[in-house]
């Protein structure tokens, strides 16, 4: 039998002749053939790689490393830590600013690669994986925003759910479920982004950087998919990576120290009941009468004929049906009231209400709703003019008191047992009222205020959502009842176009026509022209 | 150490207070926070500089 002793590297990779049919041997030969060490860890680059634009790819990777590191520290200490300690808040700030830097560098990297037409020479998949990584990163950042457990996450999740629900995605991806979003944010999406970025980097190493467009009048110029035949320069990939990491680390620390990060306290049902009891009772009454947004929402929460958005004749949410059952009247009002013990008058009121016909209930609700328009809050109670409201004043007074004591939160979150991480019900209830929206309006977070890309205070937000937010401001979307599904469809279409730029005639020719590449490869063209003269 | 951090970090963090009410630029249908606008302008500026500024040359070799 042949031994492996005294064989050179190539022969070791090739393996022994009798092992050639082994899967492991085949994979090793294929990998080594495509990505030998000099490609994985190069120390030479073509001399035309002589522009600052080339450093933004590695800066993006360095920012990702700091994002993962700061995220790992936050994970070590758990979700409550960053709200309750200055150290935790500081690490949260580093996470926020490294994410801002990550997107900052990635967008510049994408612009640079677009103007180089970097998909030329069998590099289509390099472009596609880069674009998919960008889109997956937006999703990852979004799940981070809705997992913050503060006012910002409450507002973003209650608004973001509509687009997801209208496109059908909400059936599986519930942004109001904190536990689910946190797991997506810290495990599933980072895994997806990580795998895509590894594949992207391997594609870059496999194909190398794209060649410049041929200079004017060039007689010989390597084909886009051929090895570079011109000059090379020294390139220390590890030194470049380490330098980028230090730069990003210093910038992250600097921004975190100087600017900190936002963390506005979450709005509680207790706070709502105490600060705006009339709005609270009006909303709860609306839940019983079925006039709130949640009560008439439709899929994925409930089956309401004629509700929900449509893309032409198609209702995407109806494909999945009711996947997150919510009955606002029962879940937000009647069931929590039924848990209150030692209150005979409430017990009697509930019996009266539940025993009444729907016509009678409707009359009481209608009268009470009208009276609430002129209601006043006196010492935390809601006072209305005398009228025929049946048991409703007793019921609403008890619900208000329950919320005032903090008991309603617990009833809505932990209705499945001791632990609760799903905030769908309290968030839907909260969003049905005006209280949350009024606070959001002051912070310029409403949809009509380009709110999806804003952050509380003077912090930068998700600026990368500018195009998504833009559509909601212009007709016909601004006044359309199907705005969410229409905007989502447009964004999906535009995303697919961006991903497929390398194969779309006209679009892929733009970089060659606008000639920004003349600046990127100015040294190369200058030397080529000098050589000609 | 913990006490020092508890004092120093909020102090440093308040060097520039971004928790003040937000400022916005409104032009027609466009309404953008000053912070987002600064980020976008910086992005364009850095891109232009990255493309235009000369890159330091190092030793080159033949093919």
**Per-residue pLDDT, B63:** 47
| pLDDT 10s digits, A363-374 | 999 999 999 999
Percent of chain A with pLDDT strictly greater than 70: 98
| Angstroms from A72 CA to nearest CA on chain B | 20
**HSE value, Cβ hemisphere, 13 Å, CA-based, for A34:** 11
Quick one: closest CA in B to A515, which residue?
A: B51
CA distance B28 to chain A (A): 10
Place of tokens 């000639």: A515
Distance CA A98, CA A256 (A): 9
Closest CA to A432 of A290, A319, A299, A223: A290
Residue keyed to tokens 């017990």 = A347
Residue environment code for A86-115, b if the CB has 16+ CB neighbours within 10 A, otherwise e: bebbbbbbbbbbbbbbbbbbbbbbbbbbbb
SS3 of residue A310 by DSSP: coil
The model's pLDDT over A73-92, given as tens digits with 9 standing for 90+, comes to: 999 998 889 988 999 999 99
Question: ipTM, 2 decimals?
Answer: 0.89
Q: What integer best gives the mean pLDDT of chain A? A: 93
Question: CA A345 to CA B52: how far, in whole Å?
Answer: 78
Cross-chain residue pair B51–A519, CB shorter than 8 Å: yes
Going by pLDDT thresholds of 50, 70 and 90, the confidence category of residue A502 is very high
In chain A, CATH 1.20.810.10 sits at 38-260+500-532
Q: What is the assigned CATH class of domain A38-260+500-532? A: mainly alpha
| Average pLDDT of the segment spanning A275-284 | 98
pLDDT over 60 at A241, yes or no: yes
From chain A, pick out residues whose CB is under 8 angstroms from the CB of B62. 231-232
In A146-211, which residue ranges form alpha helices assigned H by DSSP? 151-166, 178-183, 189-207
The minimal CB distance from A86 to the residues B5, B24, B54 is found for B5
Chain B CA closest to residue A111: B47
- pLDDT for B13: 55
Tokens 């949410």 locate to: A317
Q: Which residues from chain B sit within 8 angstroms of residue A458, using beta carbons? A: 18-23, 33-35
pLDDT for B7-44, tens place per residue? 566 555 556 788 888 889 988 888 999 999 999 999 99
Nearest CA in chain B to A51: B55
């Amino acid at each position: 039998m042949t031994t492996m002793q005294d064989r050179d590297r190539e022969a070791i990779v090739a393996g022994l002749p009798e092992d050639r049919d082994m899967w492991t041997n085949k994979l090793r030969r294929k990998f080594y053939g495509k990505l030998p060490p000099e490609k994985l860890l190069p120390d030479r680059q073509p001399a035309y790689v002589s522009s600052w634009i080339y450093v933004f790819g590695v800066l993006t990777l360095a920012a990702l490393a700091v994002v993962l590191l700061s995220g790992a520290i936050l994970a070590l200490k758990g979700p409550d830590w960053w709200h309750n300690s200055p150290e935790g808040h500081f690490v949260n700030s580093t996470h926020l600013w490294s994410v801002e830097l990550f997107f900052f560098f990635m967008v510049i990297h994408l612009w640079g690669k677009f103007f180089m037409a970097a998909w030329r020479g069998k590099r289509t998949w390099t472009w596609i994986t880069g674009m998919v990584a960008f889109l997956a990163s937006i999703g990852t950042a979004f799940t981070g925003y809705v997992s913050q457990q503060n006012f910002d996450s409450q507002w973003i999740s209650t608004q973001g759910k509509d687009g997801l629900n209208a496109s059908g995605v909400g059936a599986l991806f519930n942004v109001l479920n904190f536990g689910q979003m946190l797991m997506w944010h810290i495990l599933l999406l980072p895994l997806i982004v990580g795998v895509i970025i590894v594949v992207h980097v391997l594609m870059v190493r496999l194909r190398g950087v794209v060649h410049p467009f041929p200079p004017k009048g060039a007689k010989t110029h390597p084909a886009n998919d051929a090895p570079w035949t011109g000059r090379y320069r020294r390139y220390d990939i590890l030194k470049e990576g380490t330098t980028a990491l230090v730069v990003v680390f210093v910038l992250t620390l600097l921004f975190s120290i100087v600017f900190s990060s936002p963390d506005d306290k979450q709005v509680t049902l207790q706070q709502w009941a105490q600060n705006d009891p009339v709005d609270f009772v009006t909303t709860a009454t609306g839940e019983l009468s079925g006039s709130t947004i949640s009560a008439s929402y439709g899929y994925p929460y409930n089956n309401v004929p004629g509700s929900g958005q449509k893309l032409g004749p198609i209702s995407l949410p109806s494909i999945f049906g009711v996947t997150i059952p919510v009955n606002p009247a029962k879940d937000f009002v009647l069931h929590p009231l039924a848990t209150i013990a030692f209150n005979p008058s409430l017990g009697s009121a509930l019996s009266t209400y539940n025993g009444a016909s729907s016509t009678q209930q409707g009359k009481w609700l209608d009268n009470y709703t009208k009276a609430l328009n002129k209601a006043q809050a006196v010492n935390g109670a809601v006072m209305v003019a005398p009228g025929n409201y049946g048991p409703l004043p007793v019921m609403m007074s008890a619900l208000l008191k329950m919320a005032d004591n903090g008991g309603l939160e617990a009833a809505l979150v932990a209705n499945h047992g001791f632990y609760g991480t799903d905030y769908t019900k309290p968030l839907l209830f909260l969003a049905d009222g005006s209280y949350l929206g009024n606070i959001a309006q002051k912070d310029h977070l409403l949809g009509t205020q380009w709110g999806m890309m804003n952050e509380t205070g003077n912090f930068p937000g998700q600026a990368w959502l500018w195009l998504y937010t833009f559509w909601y401001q212009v007709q016909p979307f601004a006044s359309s009842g199907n705005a969410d599904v229409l905007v989502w469809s447009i964004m999906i279409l535009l995303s697919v176009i961006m991903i497929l730029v390398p194969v779309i005639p006209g679009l892929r020719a733009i970089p060659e026509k606008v000639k920004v590449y003349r600046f990127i490869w100015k040294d190369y063209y200058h030397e080529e022209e000098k050589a000609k003269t | 150490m913990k006490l020092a951090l508890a004092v120093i970090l909020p102090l440093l963090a308040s060097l520039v207070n971004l928790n003040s009410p937000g400022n916005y630029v409104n032009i027609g249908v466009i309404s953008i926070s000053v912070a987002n606008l600064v980020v976008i302008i910086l992005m364009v500026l850095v891109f232009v500089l990255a493309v235009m500024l000369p890159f330091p040359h190092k030793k080159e070799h033949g093919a």
